[in-house]
Chains A and B, each alone.
Chain A
Amino acid sequence: MNPAVLLASSNTLVHLSPVDLVIIIFYFVLVLAIGLYLKEQANTGEDFFMAGREMTAWVAGLAFLSANLGSLELMGWAGNSYKYGILAAHWYWIGAIPAMLFLALVMMPFYHICKTHSVPGYLKLRFGQGAQAISSISFAFMTVLMSGINMYAMAVVMKVVLGWNMHFSIWVSAMTVAVYVALGGLRSAIFNEVLQFFLIWAGALLIPIMGLIEAGGWHGLQAKILQNLTELNVPNPGSYTHLWSTLGHFSSNPMGINWVGIVFGLGAVISMGYWTTDFLVVQRVLSAKDLRSAELAPIIGAAFKMMVPFIVILPGLLGLALLRDPQGHLIRLVDAGLAWSPQGQAQGLHGYDEVLPLMLARYCGPGLLGLGITALVAGFMSGMAGNVSAFTTVWTYDIYGALINKNASDESKVKMGRWVTIIGVIVSILTAYIAKGMPSIMDYVQALFSFFIAPLFGTVILGMLWKRATPAGGWSGLLAGTLSSLGMYLWVKFDPSAVRYVALSMDAQDQAQNMFRALWCCSICVIVTVVVSLVTKPKPEGELKDLVYGLTPIPKTEHVSMFHSPIFWGVVVAIVFIVLQIIFW
């Protein structure tokens, strides 16, 4: 019997052909082969946790982006663009590009010079063990939860598209990640992330190309969305294809947010916090071989990040314009909670996050379908490997090495790293089911970011730029920021009317609440840090060398031509970013 038939039930969007299975199996064999090949190059702590600090700018830059480009990212943001329209693209543009350029040109020299193994490691040098303990424990907690979300996202694809048993797909993929990361450490994770980057683009790029052909180009797509949403009596149907022009008022766009939330909550806090202090992505850049490569890597990542909406946001918009059932009626996707309920299943409803698989099934026949599924699995693996390798490093250096066994040898750290990789994967499998209760995956992720990342940014940036910030100020600000964010989340959870205080409007949807919560908790972190620092004793300036702006001699990079200069490419990326905002205004 055909093996594809054995795996798939009859109630699925598509059935894989043997050709598709060959492509998927070939991918699994290749990533395991890379892990085995690199095992011999992961013997020391520097090799296992930092990939020997010898990656080129291109490899570090693509891994930097790919670690963030998980299946969660692909499916979650496609779902969000279906739900919120083109406003979701803000998370790729103003919510990423300025922060990536800031990391490259302002913050990278500090990380590179102090030779830290992790962001909590920097906090230990700057603020002492209190701040390190808070950030490492919250980061470890966040990474295993994120791995769980990635796992859930992939299991949904397999269930919805192929009818595969969720446990089967979770365990096979998770164990593959565990094996190749445990064998080759960060180097293996990075190599596979670069491979996965190419596969994701090869598998996903065809959907927007075919979709735009079917819709009649961008203007045809806009017209169809307007027509469909008007037919469904959706408020503000024209706002789904405009990036900025509908952000004057909370009620004039589908997200219930205004420009203050996008510019300050997303652009200045969440984005800066994620791209400059989330160790998952920063770890990739720290593996660069020299300072110029470390500065170029985020700029290369930013250039590709600007193009990701083409394979993520556009399919969501195409879903709004083109998805109809066999009788020609418009298909309206719904919250996952409703789609996955017994009533939803009986009515054949689909959740927002299923829009990408639905579009994949629409255009991709045998072979291409296998490649598309491989792209989603590759996305899952790169996202999970990123979380697992970052978790392993933070656990080994900032929890085990700093709090449990301060005299651990390099050899025992590598051994610990391999075991923690396996344990981290198993724990994150257990967290996958938490994600099932959330209405939209990305709302859940942004909630996590607002708890942990937003206050962390306040602490790190004050630590780098203000020499008067004291250890007591640093850890108390971080603690106050994290607790206030959790407090605001619980306040709205138990009293939904509180949203008018937290997010300034009763129209605010989940994403808008996340942005404002991040803005407030980062502000609280900064205020507490400043106030406590002013009443406590500062560190002597001699101890702040290489840690604080103004006390750190930035090494001059070698003289290079304009086309090799990080500043030149940073300016190019910034100009393209501005042009994109104007085009889709």
Chain B
Amino acid sequence: MKSGGSLSIWFFIGVSLAVNGAIICGTGIYELMRPPEHHVVLYNLHANVWWGAIMLILGLFFSLRFSPAKERARMAGNS
């Protein structure tokens, strides 16, 4: 879509998901190595590891697919 510049909204979404996913997954891995004193319910499922990883992968996909370089190339192709 036209965004008024070379940055697509999907790029912003990708960056947001990737950064948040990396932080959450990283925290989960840290907790695996150093388990906290107080657990949330179903801690044994380590939701932050796999949920963070899913967000990271999805975020990287969006970030690369709609990167500014690709958008510029696409807009140049259209014009």
CB within 8 A of B12: which of A56, A195, A206?
A195
B42 interface contact, C-beta 8 A: yes
How many angstroms from the CA of A30 to the CA of B47 in the assembled complex? Answer: 25
Q: Mark B13-27, 1 if CB is under 8 A from A, else 0.
A: 101110110011011
List chain A residues, Cβ under 8 A from B16. 26-27, 30, 195, 198-199
CB proximity of A419 to chain B, nearest CB, Å: 22
A191 touches B31 (CB 8 A): no
A23 touches B23 (CB 8 A): yes
List chain A residues, Cβ under 8 A from B45. 210, 213
CB within 8 A of B42: which of A34, A194, A363?
A363
B51 touches A363 (CB 8 A): no
A234 interface contact, C-beta 8 A: no
How many angstroms from the CA of A367 to the CA of B53 in the assembled complex? Answer: 12
List chain B residues, Cβ under 8 A from A198. 13, 16-17
A281 interface contact, C-beta 8 A: no
How many angstroms from the CA of A362 to the CA of B55 in the assembled complex? Answer: 21
Segment of A35-43, A466-474, A561-569, A574-582 engaged in the interface with chain B? A35-43
Q: Using a Cβ–Cβ cut-off of 8 Å, how many residues does chain A contribute to the interface with B?
A: 39
B20 touches A194 (CB 8 A): no
A41 touches B40 (CB 8 A): no
A371 interface contact, C-beta 8 A: yes
B24 touches A371 (CB 8 A): yes
CB proximity of B35 to chain A, nearest CB, Å: 11
B20 touches A371 (CB 8 A): yes
Q: Which residue of chain B is the closest to A55 with respect to CB atoms?
A: B1
Answer whether A365 and B20 are a contact pair too, CB < 8 Å, given A19-B27, A37-B5. no
CB proximity of A552 to chain B, nearest CB, Å: 28
CB within 8 A of B9: which of A59, A210, A365?
A59
- The 8 A-B pairs at the shortest CB distance, nearest first, are namely A41-B4, A367-B27, A367-B24, A56-B1, A365-B40, A191-B9, A368-B48, A362-B41
Residues of B with Cβ closer than 8 Å to A? Answer: 1-5, 7, 9, 12-13, 15-17, 19-20, 23-24, 26-28, 31, 36, 39-43, 45, 47-48, 51-52, 55
21 A–B pairs (Cβ distance < 8 Å), ordered by A: A22-B23, A23-B23, A23-B24, A30-B12, A37-B7, A41-B4, A54-B1, A59-B9, A191-B12, A195-B9, A195-B12, A195-B13, A199-B20, A206-B47, A362-B40, A365-B27, A365-B40, A366-B36, A366-B48, A367-B28, A368-B48
